[in-house]
Amino acid sequence: MLSGCALVADSSGPQVDIAPHTRVTLPTPAQLGYQVTASQLISAQWQDDTSKHSQQLPVQLQVKPQQVLLAGFSSWGTRILSLNYQNNTIDTQVMNGLENTLPKPEQVLFNLMITLWPRSAWEEPLNQVKWQMIDANNTRTILDNSGDTVIEIEYQSHDPFSGEIQFHNRKLKYTITIQTLNHRIQDVTQ
């Protein structure tokens, strides 16, 4: 029998890796508090042992009370990844041959949700793994169970769909820029 130490949230919802040996349960789509359709450009920068890298991914995001749909496209407009988060399940598809070159769709979803969903939606999932979220002055900081900053998110505006968002993962040493090209927000009751 193998055993190990890992922090895992105890919940029935889908979980994603937020750090090695740490998984967190995602909030529900409804916890965003409104419906939104957005076209965004996600740019990632990271460095390995030999060089700096960058990649851009145009995405379409649609959030309804029961569902999150996410699609990523190539620069020539072909859908290269898609994700459907509904009924506590995440279904993903990645274009054949690109599985090892693109980020996992679940991680793209996590990065968007930790950036866009309100703090109240993340309190319970982060508390389950003894992590913490602090919002102050257009900045969101995610601290691990040791109190170390793991993620720092800087918003250009109080409205996360206006202006650029800089997402810095301090532990994994990558930066993501999220630029919303256009969006439409609707009240959940509409």
How confident is the model over 132-142, as pLDDT tens digits? Answer: 999 999 999 99
In this prediction, residue 190 carries a pLDDT of: 55
Asked whether residue 170 is domain-assigned, the answer is yes
pLDDT confidence tier of residue 2, bands split at 50, 70 and 90:
very low
How confident is the model over 62-113, as pLDDT tens digits? Answer: 999 999 999 999 988 899 999 999 999 999 998 988 877 778 889 899 999 9
- The count of domains in the chain is 1
Asked whether residue 20 is domain-assigned, the answer is no
Closest CA to 107 of 72, 140, 135: 72
**What is the bridge-based pairing of β-strands 22-25 and 7-8?**
parallel
Please answer whether residues 154 and 166 qualify as being in contact, where contact means their C-beta atoms are separated by less than 8 angstroms.
yes
Asked whether residue 1 is domain-assigned, the answer is no
Asked whether residue 11 is domain-assigned, the answer is no
pLDDT above 60 (res 8):
no
Asked whether residue 3 is domain-assigned, the answer is no
What's the mean per-residue pLDDT of the chain?
Answer: 89
Asked whether residue 8 is domain-assigned, the answer is no
Asked whether residue 104 is domain-assigned, the answer is yes
Q: What is the mean pLDDT of residues 31-39?
A: 96
C-alpha distances (whole Å) from 106 to each of 24, 39, 57, 71, 134 are: 12, 18, 14, 12, 23
Please answer whether residues 134 and 143 qualify as being in contact, where contact means their C-beta atoms are separated by less than 8 angstroms.
yes
Half-sphere exposure of 71 (CA within 13 A, CB side): 10
Q: Which domain holds residue 71?
A: 27-187
Residue 45 belongs to domain with CATH number: 2.50.20
Closest CA to 142 of 171, 99, 178: 171
In this prediction, residue 14 carries a pLDDT of: 92
Q: What is the mean pLDDT of residues 5-17?
A: 61
In this prediction, residue 12 carries a pLDDT of: 63
In this prediction, residue 165 carries a pLDDT of: 97
Residues in the chain, total: 190
Asked whether residue 40 is domain-assigned, the answer is yes
